[in-house]
A and B are shown apart, each in its own frame.
Chain A
Amino acid sequence: MFPILEAKWLAPKVRWITVAAPRVATKHLPGHFVIVRVSEHGERIPLTIADSDSASGTITLVVQVLGATTQQLCALKEGQAILDVVGPLGKATEMKNFGHVVLVGGGVGTAVIHPQAKALKNCGNYVSAVIGGRSQSYVILESELRSICDAVYPCTDDGSYGYHGFVTGKLGELIADQQQPVHAVITAGPVPMMRAIANLTREHHLHTIASLNPIMVDGTGMCGGCRVTIAGQTQFACVDGPEFDAHQVDFTELADRLSAYRPQEQLSWQQLQNLNHECRLNQLK
C-alpha cells in the first residue's frame, strides 16, 4: 500500500496526489511514469510523475477524472492509500543545454512538463512554458512553473485568462520572436494538441519531443499493447518511450488505438455512477 500524504483539487476534475513511494522517488527522472492500481479488481493505468522528493520519499501524480479508474483514484483522500504503485518506468527525458526550450503542456499534460522544466533549467536552458486549458480554472501548475521557468504563458480556449487561443497560437508567436529564438520544443497533452504542435514545428525544423499516452497494461514491455508507430517502425511506448520525436509519430493511429475500449469504458463508468448513487441513497436512509 502506498499512503497518500496530500490530495487536493487543482482544477475541476484534476487532482494533485502526493503519495509515499520512496523507491520510486529515489529513482525518478523527468519523463518517467508509474503504473497504478487503485483497488483489488482495478485495472493498471500509467500516470506521469509530476514531481518527486527523494528526501521525503514522495512522488506526486496529477490525475484527471476521465473514467472509472481515475474517478476512484481521485476519490481517495489524505490518509488513504493507493494499492499498487510501480516505477519509475519509461526512458527519462533527454537532458542537455538546447538553448531556449519551450515546454507546451495541455491540460494534465502540464504535469508532465513540470519536472522537465526543473531539470532543463538546471542544464542551463532558457525555459519557457506554454500551458493551456479550456478556461482559467483548467490552467494548472502556473505558480509552480513560474517559480522555475524564465517565462510562463497561460492560454485559454475561451480567453478567460492569459493568451486567448490554443497553445499552438502562442507557440507560433514564440517561434516568430527573433529576440529569443526557440531551439527545442517538448510537448505533452491531448493527442490533437500534440499533433498540431508537431505540424507547426515541422515547418520550422524545430527539434520536438512528444510524450505519448497510449493504453498500457504491465508497463514493462511485456504486453505490447502500447505499441506506437514511429518513423514507420513499431515501438513500445513503455520501454522505448514514452517520449519520441514528435515529427515521426503517427498521431492518427495513436488517437485511434486510444479509442479501442470506449464502449467498455462507458460501461465501467456507468456502473461506478450507479454504485455511487446507491451508496449515497444508503447514506440518506
Chain B
Amino acid sequence: MKPAERMKILRQHMPEQDAEQRSHNFEEVNYGLAGTAASMEAQRCLRCKQAKCIEGCPVGVDIPGFVEALAEDDLKKAADILLDANVLPAVTGRVCPQETQCEVQCIRGGKSEPLAIGYLERFVADWARENYQQKFTPPPPSGKRIAVVGAGPAGLTCAGELAKRGHAVTIYEALHRPGGVLLYGIPEFRLPKAIVDQEVNNLRKMGVQIICNVVIGATYTISDLLTAEGFQAVFIANGAGLPVFQGIPGEQLKGVYSANEYLTRVNLMGAFRFPDCDTPVIKSTQVAVVGGGNVAMDSVRTARRLGADPATLIYRRSRQEMPARVEEVKHAEEEGIVLELLCNPIEILGTTDGWVRGVRCQRMALGEPDASGRRRPEPIPGSEFEIPCQVFIEAIGTRANPLLTQSTPELNLNKWGNIVIDENNMTSMPGVFAGGDIVRGAATVILAMGDGKNSALSIHQFLSNK
C-alpha cells in the first residue's frame, strides 16, 4: 500500500458500551477494536524510518514493528515485539495516556488524526491473552537475587525485565493481592482486574516470586533485605502514599472520603458487590468529588455507577487545565457526570448527627499563570453556593508515604519526601534503586513502568560490574 492510500484511511473508532447502560454497571467501557478494524487501523501507519512514536514510549515499544506485523496479520510476531518491550501490554493498552505519549509524536497527527496506537496495543495484547503463550526460555541463572518493593506497575515491570536477564526476583507487596494502583486505584470499568491477574501470572511463569502481606519499612527494612535476606540489589517502587485533604472544615464527617479510600473499598475490596463482599462503602443519591485528574474522574464515575444522581465533579480551574485524560472527561460527561468547573469547596456541611449533607463552594475566575504555568484560580467574592451531597470525595493528590523512608534514614529525600535518585535510578544507598510515584510524586502507570524498566537495566549493569 502506498503512503497516499494509507493517508486516506480514517482513524477507527473504539466501540464502547452504551453510556446510559454503563453508568449503572462496572463492565468495561471500551470493547476493543474488532479484527477487521484493527487491520485497517494498522494500515494507517506510515512506517516512518525515524519513528518518533517510539521516543514517546517510556518502555520503548517498537511501535511500527508490531503495527506492521499486525497489518500483515502476523499476530504472533506482533505479540512478540510488543511483549519483548512491555510486560503489561493489556494494561497499558487500556490506561496509557497515548495522546500525550506515543500518539502525540505520530507524524499523521499534524494533518489528520494520529495512528490509534493504544487501540492497536490493546488489540494485540488481548489477542495474546486469549490465544498465545509467549515462549519464555529462561536465560542461565545469574545467581543474583533482587528484591522489588511493591507489585504495582513499576515493580512488576522491573521484575519482568530482571527475570528476562536471568536474575532471581522476589516482589514484596504490602496488600493481599499484587497489582498496586492497577487494583486498588483504577476501576474495573477501565481495567478489569482479571487482566491484571493474568499479567501478574505471566510474570510468575517467568519465575518471579511474589510475596504479599509484607510491608517494607515495617515487616522488613531495606537493610534487612540487603543483609539477613541476602539480596544483592533492591528496587523500591512502593508507590504514592498518604492522601492529601483540603484542610477545610467538615472533613471528619461521615461520608467524607479520600479518593484512595473510596476507590480501594470499591476496586480492591469489591464494595460494589456488598454484601457479597464484606467491605462496605457508603452509597448515596448525591455525591460530589473535588479534583480534576484521572483519580477524580475514576471516583466520580464510580459513584455514578453506585447509584449517584447527580454525581458532581468540582474543579477549581477550567476544562482546559484539567489534568485528566480527554477520553475520561468525555466518558464521564456521556455518563451524566455534572461538571462544576471554576468552583472550589470551602466547607463540608454536616447534619446534627455527623453526616455530610452538602458542600459549600465558591466560584473561581482564572487570573495570572502560576508556577505550574496554568492560570491561577481566584475566588469571586460573594459567589458562595451549596451543592447538596451525602458523600464527598477528595481527589486532590497524595504525598509521599513515610513508612519505608522513615525506617531507612540512609535514603536521601527531596523536600516533599520523595526518594532522590541519580541518572541510573540509584538512590543514595548503593545497590538500592527506586522508581514510580515514590520518586516522581503522583504520575502515570506508563511512567512508572518506564522507571521499572530503566531501573532493571541499571540493576543488571550494577550486578554485572560486581
Contact = CB atoms under 8 A, between A and B. Distances in A.
A68 B278 contact: yes
Q: Describe A's contact surface by its main secondary structure.
A: mixed
A28 to B, nearest CB: 10
Nearest to A69: B278
Contacts of B354: 256-257
A256 B254 contact: yes
Contact of A220 (B247, B261, B265, B401): B401
Given A84-B213, A88-B218, A225-B261, A44 B401 contact: no
A250 B213 CA distance: 31
Interface stretch (B64-72, B134-142, B268-276): B268-276
A220 B243 contact: no
B252 A253 contact: yes
Contacts, number: 120
Contacts of A68: 278
A218 B264 contact: yes
Given A222-B243, A223-B260, A256-B254, A268 B403 contact: no
Contacts of A268: 275, 278, 280
Interface string A168-191: 000000000000000000000000
Contact of A267 (B258, B275, B277, B401): B275
Contacts of A259: 254
A253 B251 CA distance: 11
A44 to B, nearest CB: 7
B219 A224 contact: no
Interface stretch (A35-43, A97-105, A124-132, A147-155): A35-43
B258 A224 contact: yes
Contacts of A264: 274-275, 280
B260 A86 contact: no
Q: On chain A, which size bracket covers the interface?
A: 35 or more
Given A221-B242, A221-B403, A223-B264, A44 B219 contact: no
Given A220-B215, A221-B241, A223-B258, A84 B176 contact: yes
The SS class assigned to the B binding surface is loop
B245 interface: yes
Contacts of A236: 242
B214 interface: yes
Contacts of B213: 84-86
Nearest to B282: A260
Interface in B246-297: 247, 251-252, 254-255, 257-258, 260-261, 264-265, 269-270, 273-280, 282
A87 B255 CA distance: 28
B420 interface: no
Contacts of A23: 214, 219-220
B214 A86 contact: yes
Contact of B176 (A83, A88, A225): A83
Interface in A160-213: none
Contact of B212 (A84, A217, A250): A84
A134 B269 CA distance: 35
Given A220-B403, A222-B401, A89 B176 contact: no
B314 to A, nearest CB: 19
Nearest to A88: B218
A224 B247 CA distance: 13
Given A42-B278, A84-B176, A84-B213, A221 B252 contact: no
Contacts of B258: 223-225
A273 interface: no
A227 B243 CA distance: 11
A56 interface: no
A239 interface: yes
Contacts of A43: 269, 277-279
A243 to B, nearest CB: 16
A193 B258 CA distance: 29
A234 B214 contact: no
B214 A41 contact: no
Contacts of A27: 218-220
A44 B176 contact: yes
Given A86-B219, A227-B251, A236-B242, 13 more contacts: A23-B219, A41-B278, A43-B278, A85-B213, A88-B219, A220-B403, A221-B242, A221-B402, A222-B243, A234-B247, A256-B254, A257-B354, A268-B278
Interface of B: 174-176, 184, 212-215, 218-220, 241-243, 245, 247, 251-252, 254-255, 257-258, 260-261, 264-265, 269-270, 273-280, 282, 354, 401-403
29 contacts: A23-B214, A23-B220, A41-B273, A41-B277, A68-B278, A86-B212, A86-B213, A87-B219, A88-B219, A89-B215, A217-B261, A218-B264, A220-B215, A221-B241, A221-B402, A222-B241, A223-B258, A223-B261, A224-B242, A225-B258, A227-B245, A227-B251, A236-B242, A253-B252, A260-B282, A261-B280, A261-B282, A264-B274, A271-B275
Interface of A: 23-24, 27, 37, 39, 41-44, 68-69, 83-89, 217-218, 220-225, 227, 229, 234, 236, 239, 250, 253, 256-257, 259-261, 264-265, 267-268, 271
What are the 5 closest A-B residue pairs judged by CB atoms, nearest first?
Answer: A264-B280, A223-B261, A86-B213, A43-B279, A43-B278
